[in-house]
Amino acid sequence: MRNFVFIVFFISVAVQAQTKMSAPEAEALKTLVKQQALTTKTISSNFTQYKHLDFLSNDIVSKGKLAFKTPDLVKWVYTEPYNYAVIFKNETLFINDEGKKNQVDIGSNKLFKELNGLIINSIKGDMFDDDAFEITYYKKDKNSQVHFSPKDKKSTKYISDFQITFNKKGDVLEVKMIEPSGDFTKIIFTNKEINIPLADAIFIN
């Protein structure tokens, strides 16, 4: 019985922790995030990535640094547990895999192009495209969380939901990409610095 009470209590707390936003609240968040995205010229941040596969005992954890510069330069550098860097630039992926350099042309690959667009927009938090996504807004503790569920059939084969958590200022704290199977990739950003000068040389492989 005590357990039962505890469970009910826990469920009600869990439900309270995430509630749907009212329309004006959602509108206010959208405006805040869009404003934030507009004034963001560069982002430099540490990140921790959790790859969750249901059949594993633990998530696969990797860590590194992200650099972003408008309009569309993105570099992910993984430093743990391996050295790997990928730069998204002009429809090309520049890869440095433990010193082995490689490039992949994504110009002809629609899926990768979309993915690249999503990555940039999700870093900035600006994904509010009602034509492309079914969007739902939640309050979660002191933060906000927005769920973007792709409408395009080809995308839904790979991703069933993007969930982005924003802090009060409209900065992205966390991005979670959920696959139709339930497996997901979660990226948590820490020590994020906005609009510090980033040289173009950073984005050369």
Residues that bind another protein (CB under 8 A): 49, 51, 53, 55-58, 60-62, 76, 78, 81-82, 84, 86, 95, 97, 100, 102, 115, 157-158, 177, 179, 181, 183, 185
Q: How far is CA 200 from CA 70, 85, 134, 141, 157, in A?
A: 11, 16, 36, 38, 35
Cβ-based nearer residue to another protein, 67 or 177: 177
Smallest gap from Cβ 58 to another protein, in A, equals: 6
Smallest gap from Cβ 75 to another protein, in A, equals: 12
Cβ-based nearer residue to another protein, 7 or 56: 56
Query: Prior bond to 81 cis, omega within 30?
Result: yes
Smallest gap from Cβ 1 to another protein, in A, equals: 35
Cβ-based nearer residue to another protein, 177 or 198: 177
Separation of alpha carbons 25 and 70, rounded Å: 28
Of 149, 145, 147, residue with least CA distance to 158: 149
- Give the residue ranges of DSSP H helices in 23-163: 23-39, 110-124, 153-156
Cβ-based nearer residue to another protein, 143 or 185: 185
